[in-house]
Structure 1
Amino acid sequence: MGRANTRRAASQGGGGIRRLFTWRKLLGTFLVACLLGMGALYAIYLMVPVPANANAEATMQSNVYKYSNGKVLARDGKVNREIVGLEKIPLPVQRAFVAAENKSFYKDNGVDIKGTTRAALTTLTGKGKQGGSTITQQYVKNYYLDQSQTVTRKLKELVIALKVDQRMTKNEILAGYINTSYYGRNAYGIQAAAQAYYGVDAEKLTVAQGAYLASVLQAPSQYDWTSATETGRRLVQERWNYTLNNMVEEGWLPAEERAALTFPVPKAPKAAPGMEGQTGYIVEAANAELIRQGVNEEDLKAGGWTITLNIDEKKQKSLVKAVDQQLEDKIDRKGDKSQAVVQAGATSVDPKTGAVVALYGGVGATEHWMSNATRRDYQPASTFKPIVLASALENGAETQDGRKIGLGTVYDGTSKRPVEGSDERFAPENEDDRDHGMVNVQTATNKSINSVYAQMIVDVGMGNVKKTALDLGMKDGKDFGEHPAMSLGTMGASTWDMAGVYATLDNHGKKVTPSIVKSATHKDRQVQPVKSGGEQVVSRETADTVTKAMTGVVKSGSGFRAAGDYDAAGKTGTSENNRSAWFVGYTPELVTAVGLFGEKPDGTGQVTLTDTINEGRANGGRTPALIWNAYTTKALGGGSDERFDLELGDNAVVEPVPTRSETSESPDPTPPAETETPDPTPPADTESPAPPPPSDPSTQDPDPLPTRTRTGRPTGPTSPPDPGDEVVSDTIP
């Protein structure tokens, strides 16, 4: 009886639930919700009008760039745009834009409900920003609204797009979209883009070129072929192929014609008017940093920003003057084709704050838009050797026979000596194929002896050295290639990168990240500056020991032309085939990287610097060191009493090495020189610090380097060695 009542109660309860949730009620609720939703959408449709005027971004504002002292450096933001009618744009080019962005453009009603909803939900849930707009929606966003990624803006975009699609023809919408979009290179609209990328009017564009311009719209800065990374180039090529394949699929391009098309590499960019001299390089570097900090590129180009830079007006002028005096005033770019290939770049950083206080990008941004300060397509050469030494010290590395590596560790400096302990054969040649015999690491650093550092990187381990390099601030680790030749700086690097690495060493091993932007504000928004200070990436003892090693390079090594009335450490570098020549150095207050690069006059490739600015090799210890010296002396007010505060251990002690006098060999009176070549067979690329012509007092060498007697004592003018440096016959400590 009890069980029957229980079953009856359960049955009655279940029936109550079923009566509450009948299919008719559920269907009715769903229909009511749909009607309410449709009513809400209709209400929004009625309430959101098509704006009478274009948005603020369509009229554009200027950005203001200021020196660190508040003085205005530049204003930009003048719109580089020329509206052209659709009749002046070839039909295949028009269709390329449709194929790239919105294949259904000619058939749809102006919106993509599914894509817009997905994008709105992604934005609303905080999962990032996502597109999903038709050409009509993008035109509405560009012309009437703004670039913000909010649900409200997306809803407005959708409603206005529906109304615009009803009021305007498809051709009018397409023309508006093509003419309002931003293509990079400060080009707004297809006419400006055609000139910026291919040097032709829009009506002369080919279908291949049009497909590239349609593709670049997705990510203008990432897809600009000239400045794009390997990944960026791969992605834009994929999108270019996607666009053309869509044209074939839609019947707009014959398959045979498609198969014959090749990727249309754009021309090198040119600066916009008003960006002459160093201004364009500085503005470009500041914009790039802000984009890395998360500022939308279109928002930045729309203007209205006040950007205060870390650039010190006086130091900036001093750097330009130093390059002019030591390079530009001594060559004839227009009259001598061999000298026209020389490009100079430099970056100067405060090691305590990471502030980029001066930057030299080239002869002028309107003549040579590619910034030589930030380009990474040249090898840093032997300026990488201090990183190898830092990694050896930091990892407690040992030689093949178990001796701990320090400044006093003795290596075989024989030219073309095959490295030991590596599966890969490598036997680099020293400068002039010169054998140095048994030398300590301090001497090998002073003279930049290739055979020693090639062996050292094997002793440390290429992977360890690569990690140290990335920790110190070098970029693009995939470009390193873990081979013994890496010891000679065979990867790509910029003066910006190398200034950051050496600033970290100057800062006793605490990471320094160069930054050119001090502050950036736009209405109520403010961008957080780059965090320049970082963690301890190598120990203080390691960093200070490397600094001590490099003071020898300046005092009496291959960088002796950089010496002045200040404490200085640095390293020279000359790359394979003499395509680049470097001096990177620092005082306690200032770090500066100077590079010379051999570039074809049309910017299409690299060439040698040999027999350009001087007869023979253009060494890092020559013109780059002279530029560095002239700038540093001026920037420090003629000199500095501040000294390196070094904490050193046993690794900094330099022990005596058996001298050549013991083997009845005459001493070597020639100045130290530098060489590096990653290939053991070609002739070495060297640094021969021959004195400059005596007729130019601004480039006179310091006191001549001392020669050595058979007892190892110096003769001639010289400064006394640092305490702890052992004076031996085959080395100048």
Structure 2
Amino acid sequence: MSEHRRKPPQPEGGGRAAARRAAQQRPGRGAGPERDVPTASPSGPYAEPPGHGGRAGARQATPRGRGAAGAGAGRADKRLINYPRSDKDGWQRFVPSWKLVCGTALGFFAVVTAGAGIGIASVNTPDPNKAAQAQNNVFFWADGTQMVATGGSMNRQIVPIDKIPKSMQNAVIAAENESFETDKGVDPMGIARAVWNMAKGGSTQGGSTITQQYVKNTYLDSDQTLKRKVTELFISIKLGVSEEKDTILAGYLNTAYYGRDAYGIQAAARAYFGKDCKDLTPSESAFLASVLKGPNLYNPDGGVGTAATPEKNTERAKERWAWVLDREVAVGRMQKAERDQFKEFPKIVDSEQARSLSGQTGYLVDTAKKYVMKVTGLTGEEMARGGYQIKTTFQKPRVDALVKAVEDTRNNFLDEKARPEYDTFVQFGAASVDVKTGAIVALYGGPGMDKKYFSNNADTLGVPVGSTWKPYVLAAAMRYGTQNSHGQGISADSKYNANDETVINNRDGKPLRDASGKPFRQKNEGPYPYGYVTLNEAMEKSINVPFAQLVFDVGHSKVREVAQSTGILKDSMNPNDDASFALGTSTPSAIRMADSYATFAASGTHRDPFSVTSVEKDGKELPGFGAPKEQRAMDNSIADNITKVLENVVDNGTGTKVRKLGFTRPAAGKTGTTDQNKSAWFVGYTPELSTSVALFRTDPNSKDKKLISMNGVGGVDSIHGGDIPAAIWTEYMKEALKGVPVKEFPEAEKIGVTADASGAPSPSPSFSPSPSPSMPSPSASSSPPVSPSPSKGGKPTCKPWELYCIPDTNGGTNSGNTNGGPGGTGGPSGSPSGSPSGKPGRPGGTSWGTSMGTSG
């Protein structure tokens, strides 16, 4: 027999089966060392592994003990921490024992407890008398000279708890921290509840206790670092166990920020109600407790951002105020009978916070501050704490020139003593933007915050822009073409019917219908029979009908796209696809209009308006400032052709007052006038500077601040954009550009196809003013039907710029004192009354008083 087939010796008693059992026997348990068990060790009975069973058998025969001691010795190893576990095999070795788990938990708890104890012992509790002292915010002109320093000492006065009415204490506890009187400074369940609510997208109320908020208020900065959060937690715990609840509550109320630059309950009571805090009523206390949720969104004055308009803030404040009162009843801090006494929102006094900022300084600071907050994300509270060095784009000589132009024109045209029923409440707003950079070099915001006029007219939505909107309609037609041009851009030589009361057709070619179902007829300012005219001439004479039709031929969305690309904010645009959209029912701010027209001056290059070039704090410059990046809004050929058309307006059309007053530099611009003379605009530019001027009339003491007709203002029947606004523009631009070399606009290359509207006559050598034979002459029978009248009390029964909605006006925009439709008869007023939500609106009724913060 060959060597490799030789059978190994068999153990006694059992043959092969016994051998296999012996080989598979686990060492250290049933098998003693004296057994003849094959091993892989040379010290075993066989110097070679057994030949039968192959590799599997060899593996099975390998001893499973661990350590140098060989079989049965591995589990005798003793360690301080038995992990991985030596008494287990496979994955079970990595499952910790209960002893290990308990020991680790106890150790961790001991370390945390010791650390917390050391941390709590090492922190100091806050002193409201020494809490977070404010510094000045210093604003500089564009040339680096100081404009004004604001702040310096917080508007705060510490009052003891016995001077704070119980109603205020109850309102804050009910709204902010129901468990305040029983918690230990922190509320773990409240934190967990806030995290859960936040995960669901709901309110985070209950995440911070009053104690934690008090601690947070005592810090000068608001850095969201882990170290700060841990420190705040330690201080809160220490306060919760070492201080009386009355002391903590008084500290919180005396250090909290309530808006209007008011820190502390006493300052807040004076700022909002003109009284000491001890005299606050339960209703007033509920309001102040509401503002604590966030002054930017709950201060009725308004805040930063499109969601923080005065109207939206007032609505939120009223809802929160009612909720706080109901909450007090729910948690047992007010009787239902007492709650039922408070049905009316408390009367808030006018803000006094800007009284020290006289003239235009308050508006300049307001514009710059909101721009800083927009760029950095700083809150009003953080800005109020000061320490910022802010360099603005405002040029003092040009600001002074704009103020002088407004005041000179006011003095020349208005006489409040002689014509009080007409010349009172007339308001001006203006802004001037550098064409090359987008920097706001000057603005006029109103008579002055020191004169109790706090709305910044330069950075405010709500005043319809009238025919200054028409260039966007023409620019869209040049870019996208019309139905008749088959997708090719059209030229300003294209002809459209301009006759008064022309039927406007939808994109499908069918007549637009009014409220009664009859074909809608657009009105012009007068009944002159123009016939078919070029769009260039329609712009020159500011004729409504051609643009009311053109917007349907191009598409409203295309016009919006063009306007938005030049810097007009979406929220300021009429959202409805009606004829009035082409005629200026949108309400951008003066800053945005000046910046948007600067895009035409810059041959289609747009730059967002900005008012701050640098901000420093503690010697470090904050990032994000300087000139915004430029963007291509439209082809330069389109922008230059719009400029050519608007030059014709100044030279030969409704803007000729600019030339009559001696302005000789190259200039382009457009006039705008809305229905019933409720607003008038002139927006114009040179190659260097773009300036907008708005004129409107509103009673600042009225509840809804509706626009008032300017018919009779200045002793004339009606006011147009080519009158007072153009006069202000001209006087300012002459002074602002004094010494600046004259520059020409780029030559406009010929673009687009001539795509006349349907029904236009064949090209003829000259323009004929006679009406088209197919057009009926205006008559009483062809006048538009009467639209639904407002409901009782003068409130509109529809949204003010919806199709056919005409609350207490005659109709469309930019049609003087004539009837209009969707843009004229049956359409929204150029100055609709009431906001889109049906709540009291701003002048113009759509969005008055909104400080956007993003425009400068």
| Shorter-chain TM-score tier | 0.7 to 0.9
- Which residue number in structure 2 is paired with residue 343 of structure 1? 427
- Which residue number in structure 2 is paired with residue 497 of structure 1? 592
1 CA distance for matches of 2:372 and 2:197?
25
2 CA distance for matches of 1:120 and 1:322?
56
- Which residue number in structure 2 is paired with residue 61 of structure 1? 135
The match for 2:717 among 610, 616, 640 is 616
The alignment yields a C-alpha RMSD, in angstroms, of: 3.5
2 CA distance for matches of 1:70 and 1:537?
32
The match for 1:507 among 587, 602, 614 is 602
Unmatched 5+ residue regions in structure 2? 1-19, 27-58, 66-85, 199-203, 303-307, 515-519, 756-762, 774-800, 818-856
AA of the residue aligned to 1:453: F
CA 1:498 to 1:116, structure 2 compared with 1: closer, same or farther past 3 Å? same
1:95 aligns with 2:170: yes
What CA deviation, in whole Å up to 9, does each residue of 1:53-89 have, x standing for no partner? Answer: 866x732111111111111111110433333444344
- Which residue number in structure 2 is paired with residue 543 of structure 1? 639
The match for 1:73 among 147, 151, 158 is 147
TM-score normalised by L of structure 1: 0.84
Q: How does 1:135-150 map to 2 (within 5 A)?
A: 135-144=210-219, 146-150=221-225
What CA deviation, in whole Å up to 9, does each residue of 1:315-338 have, x standing for no partner? Answer: 111111111111245424467253
The match for 1:288 among 370, 377, 389 is 370
The match for 1:378 among 434, 442, 463 is 463
- Which residue number in structure 2 is paired with residue 486 of structure 1? 581
AA of the residue aligned to 1:517: V
AA of the residue aligned to 1:488: L
AA of the residue aligned to 2:463: Y
- Which residue number in structure 1 is paired with residue 654 of structure 2? 558
- Which residue number in structure 2 is paired with residue 182 of structure 1? 257
Q: Is contact 1:348-1:499 (8 Å) kept?
A: yes
What CA deviation, in whole Å up to 9, does each residue of 1:227-279 have, x standing for no partner? Answer: 33365455444433442332121112233554553444645534433201000
| Larger Rg, first or second structure (1 or 2) | 2
C-alpha deviation, 1:400, in angstroms: 8.9
- Which residue number in structure 1 is paired with residue 184 of structure 2? 109
Q: How does 1:636-647 map to 2 (within 5 A)?
A: 636-637=737-738, 640-647=741-748
1 CA distance for matches of 2:271 and 2:552?
47
CA 1:162 to 1:447, structure 2 compared with 1: closer, same or farther past 3 Å? same
AA of the residue aligned to 2:300: W
Q: How does 1:219-368 map to 2 (within 5 A)?
A: 219-227=294-302, 228-229=308-309, 232-233=313-314, 235-258=316-339, 261-264=343-346, 266-293=348-375, 294-328=377-411, 330-333=413-416, 336-367=420-451, 368=453
2 CA distance for matches of 1:276 and 1:588?
33
- Which residue number in structure 2 is paired with residue 212 of structure 1? 287
Q: Is contact 2:479-2:490 (8 Å) kept?
A: no
CA 1:609 to 1:18, structure 2 compared with 1: closer, same or farther past 3 Å? same
- Which residue number in structure 1 is paired with residue 51 of structure 2? none
- Which residue number in structure 2 is paired with residue 682 of structure 1? 810
* Fraction of identical pairs, as percent: 35
2 CA distance for matches of 1:286 and 1:663?
53
- Which residue number in structure 2 is paired with residue 466 of structure 1? 560
CA 1:512 to 1:41, structure 2 compared with 1: closer, same or farther past 3 Å? same
AA of the residue aligned to 1:382: S
- The range that moved more, 334-343 or 461-470, is 334-343
Alignment partner of 1:343: what SS? Answer: strand
CA 1:386 to 1:131, structure 2 compared with 1: closer, same or farther past 3 Å? farther
AA of the residue aligned to 1:354: G
What CA deviation, in whole Å up to 9, does each residue of 1:284-341 have, x standing for no partner? Answer: 1111111111223222110111111100111111111111111245424467253221
Task: Give the structure with the higher percent helix.
Answer: 1
C-alpha deviation, 1:344, in angstroms: 0.5
Q: Is contact 1:396-1:405 (8 Å) kept?
A: yes
AA of the residue aligned to 1:165: G
CA 1:269 to 1:403, structure 2 compared with 1: closer, same or farther past 3 Å? same
C-alpha deviation, 1:409, in angstroms: 0.8
1:429 aligns with 2:523: yes
How many pairs are equivalent? 672
1 CA distance for matches of 2:24 and 2:669?
96
1:580 aligns with 2:679: yes
C-alpha deviation, 1:30, in angstroms: 1.5
- The range that moved more, 151-160 or 161-170, is 161-170
2 CA distance for matches of 1:28 and 1:236?
54
CA 1:346 to 1:41, structure 2 compared with 1: closer, same or farther past 3 Å? same
Q: Is contact 1:440-1:657 (8 Å) kept?
A: no
Alignment partner of 1:682: what SS? Answer: coil
AA of the residue aligned to 1:302: R
Q: Is contact 1:96-1:214 (8 Å) kept?
A: yes
AA of the residue aligned to 2:112: G
Q: Is contact 1:349-1:357 (8 Å) kept?
A: yes
- Which residue number in structure 2 is paired with residue 593 of structure 1? 692
CA 1:661 to 1:434, structure 2 compared with 1: closer, same or farther past 3 Å? closer
C-alpha deviation, 1:474, in angstroms: 1.5
AA of the residue aligned to 2:444: Y
Q: Is contact 1:430-1:449 (8 Å) kept?
A: yes
C-alpha deviation, 1:624, in angstroms: 0.5
What CA deviation, in whole Å up to 9, does each residue of 1:512-533 have, x standing for no partner? Answer: 2111111111113424215533
AA of the residue aligned to 1:481: P
Q: How does 1:413-428 map to 2 (within 5 A)?
A: 413-421=498-506, 425=514, 426-428=520-522
C-alpha deviation, 1:573, in angstroms: 1.0
1:521 aligns with 2:620: no
